[in-house]
């Protein structure tokens, strides 16, 4: 079965609420943002931290740290993807709401991120995930990334000048 068709759209102040809505409805906060002290789950403090994270890193930043994109399927926001310059490399990251995982969207999103990365001056793409995220690890290896495991952390490196 083919993956649903998806599109990447730049995150901005007008669509940040849509991204937060899918994050709250379909993820655990630790899957989509840095840890915030307090009770687990999506509370008002964590929702504001999510907004602030994106506002300060990309939307309102004088010098954005990263470019963040909405992952959109049938005009519905289902996750996010990002590119972040790191020295001569570019880091990629993504997350999808639970109901959109396992449908092949990750493969399509990663392919688009790699296409975007190839038009930058970056030499390599880097990514980090966990040992438990089997789908992400498989996607990265299928694209030719070399994985390094350190405890629960998995780091991936993909040379942009070679590979699929």
Task: Render pLDDT for 108-148 as a digit per residue (tens, 0 to 9).
Answer: 999 999 999 999 889 999 999 999 999 999 999 999 999 99
The total domain count for the chain is 1
The interaxial angle of helices 105-118 and 134-142, nearest 10 deg, is 50
Flag whether 81 is in a domain: yes
DSSP line for 1-29: -PPPPEEEEE--TTTHHHHHHHHHHH--H
Quick check: is 1 in a domain?
A: no
pLDDT tens-digit readout, 139-149: 999 999 999 99
Residue 15 lies in a domain: yes
DSSP-assigned letter for residue 58? I
**Residue partners of 116: CB distance under 8 A and separation at least 6:** 83
Give the pLDDT score at 3. 74
Domain-located, residue 67: yes
Task: Write down the pTM of the prediction.
Answer: 0.92
Q: Which residues of the chain have pLDDT under 70?
A: 1, 162-164
Q: Is residue 164 part of a domain?
A: no
Q: Residue 101 sits in which domain range?
A: 6-159
List the CATH number of the domain containing 37: 3.40.630.30
- What's the rounded Cα separation, in Å, for the pair 42 and 39? 9
């Amino acid at each position: 079965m083919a993956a649903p068709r998806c599109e990447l759209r730049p995150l901005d102040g007008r669509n940040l609420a849509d991204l937060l809505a899918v994050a709250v409805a379909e993820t655990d906060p630790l899957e989509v943002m840095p840890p915030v002290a307090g009770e687990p789950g999506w509370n008002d403090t964590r929702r504001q931290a999510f907004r602030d994270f994106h506002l300060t890193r990309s939307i309102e930043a004088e010098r954005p740290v990263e470019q963040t994109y909405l992952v959109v399927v049938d005009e519905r926001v289902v996750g996010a993807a990002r590119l972040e310059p790191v020295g001569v490399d570019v880091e990629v990251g993504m997350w999808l709401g639970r109901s959109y995982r396992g449908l092949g969207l990750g493969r399509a999103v990663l392919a688009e991120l790699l296409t975007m990365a190839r038009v930058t001056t970056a030499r390599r793409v880097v990514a980090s995930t966990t040992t438990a995220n089997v789908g992400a690890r498989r996607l990265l290896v299928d694209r030719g990334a070399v994985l390094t495991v350190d405890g629960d952390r998995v780091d991936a490196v993909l040379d942009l000048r070679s590979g699929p």
